[in-house]
Amino acid sequence: MTVLPIDDPTKRRVLRVSCQREFSYTILHPARPVLDPEELALSEAVAGRPVLLVADKNVWRLFGKQICEYAGRHLNCLATVTVHGTERRKDWTQIRKVCSEALRVGLPRDGVIVAFGGGVTLDLAGMAASLYRRGVAYVRVPTTLVGIIDTAVGIKQGFNFESRKNMLGAFYPPEGVINDINFLRTLSSAELACGVAEIIKMGMVREGSLITLLEDHGATLIRNNFQAPTGLAMEVLLRAERVMIEELQPNLFEKCQARLADFGHTFSPALERASGYGLRHGEAVALDMVLSTAIAVRRGLCAESLFNRLVDLCRKMGLPLESPLLRPELLLCSVHETRLHRSGDLNLVVPVELGRADFLQEVTLDDLDHALAMIEETSYEQPLCRQASAGL
C-alpha cells in the first residue's frame, strides 16, 4: 500500500467503499401440509435455531393448536406473537409488538422469525425481522392466495404511515417461503378472488395463458378453494409464481421503477385508503386494472375486445367493476402521489395485447372521463363493490 503525503490540505480526497451482497431463497410447495407432524419442511428451514412465531389472529384461531403441536415437536420455539392481519392495523404499533416480544424472550442474532398469515402479517413480520438486531432471518408461511402468489415472492416489506399505504418499508429478503395450499380451504370466495386478481395481473401483462386458464377454470378453482382439480390448481399457482419471479428477480431492489408487476397498483392504493380499507386489496387492484385498460383503449394502445375480456373475467371471478370511489379528482390525486413514489415518473402499466404491456407517463382528465364512461357502461350487470364507500 502506498501512503500519499498530505501536502495540500485544501485538495478534495475521496475514499470509496464497495460491497456486493449475494442472496437466494427458495419457495417450497411441500408434499404434505406444512403442519403435518411428518412434514419436515419448516423444521429444515429453521435448522434448529431459536424461533419466534408470528401469526395472524384468525390463523391462530384456526390453526393455533396445530402450530403449537408442530412447534413442540420440531422447533426451538421461544414464544408466539399474534397480530391483526388487516390493512387498518398494518402499522408501527404491531411491528413494535413483535420486536418487543423478540427482545423479551432473548431471540438471538442467529434466531428466526417465522410468520403465518396473509400479506399484511408477512409484511409486519418481515419489517420486524429487518429491524431487530439490525436483521434476523425470517421464513414466510403464507395462508392466503395473495400471500402465496404475490407477497411471498418478492423481498419488499412495508407498513402504513400517516394514512399512506406502505409509506415506510425495506427491501429485506426472506430466508425461505413455504407455500401450503391447504390453508386456502378456510378462505371465503371474496378473499380467494383477491388472490385471483393478482394472477390476472400477471396474465394480462406477462403470460396470456394464465388468462385462458382462469377463463376456463377460475370459477371452479374458487368454488373448490383451490383444492380441486389438484393438478390444475397447482399448475395455475406455480405458473403465476414463476412469472412473478421472472418479472421481479432482475429488479428486486427496484432500481428500475418501470415495473410490469405494478399493473393494477397505480390507482389502487388511493382507492383502498379512501375506502378506509373497507375495499380489499385485490378488489382495488381489479378496479385499477379495468381503469388502466380503459385508458389504453382510449389512447388506441389496445383493442376494446381486450378490455371486454378483462371485464368479463373480473365479473366471472366476483371482482368489482364499479365503485363510487372512481372519481376523477381522487384518481388525479393518485397520479400525483404515484409520481412521488416513482421518482417523478408515472409508469402507468397498460396492456397493449394479451400478455404484453407498455407504460404511460401522462394521464389527462379526458382520459379518465372516457375510461370511467366505458366502465359505467359495463356496471349495470355488476352491483357496486362491497363496502367501497366506507370511510368517505
pLDDT at 379: 66
Give pTM, 2 decimals: 0.92
Confidence of residue 381 (pLDDT cuts 50, 70, 90): low
* Residue 243 lies inside a defined structural domain of this protein: no
Q: For residue 205, which of 45, 101, 348, 28 has the smallest C-alpha distance?
A: 348
Residue after which a domain boundary falls, among 162, 186, 210? 186
Number of domains making up the chain:
2
Range of the domain at 214: 189-238+257-381
> Both 158 and 36 in a single domain?
yes
Question: CA nearest 262: which of 201, 182, 323?
Answer: 201
Residue whose C-alpha is closest to residue 207's, from 250, 248, 242: 242
Does residue 30 sit within a domain? yes
Q: Is pLDDT at 387 greater than 50 in this prediction?
A: no
Q: Is residue 248 part of a domain?
A: no
Work out the pLDDT band at 12, boundaries 50, 70, 90. Answer: confident
DSSP letter at 88? G
Together in a domain, 194 and 73: no
Cell numbers found for residue 150: 404475490
Please say whether the beta carbons of 196 and 282 come within 8 A.
Answer: yes
Q: What is the CATH number of the domain that holds 108?
A: 3.40.50.1970
pLDDT > 70: what percent of the chain?
95
Query: Quick check: is 386 in a domain?
Result: no
Mean pLDDT of 164-168: 93
Q: Does residue 13 lie within any of the structural domains?
A: no
Assigned domain for 20 exists: no
Query: What digits encode the pLDDT tens for the residues 203-219?
Result: 999 999 999 999 999 99
| CATH code, domain carrying 377 | 1.20.1090.10
Residue 7 lies in a domain: no
Same domain, 31 and 158: yes
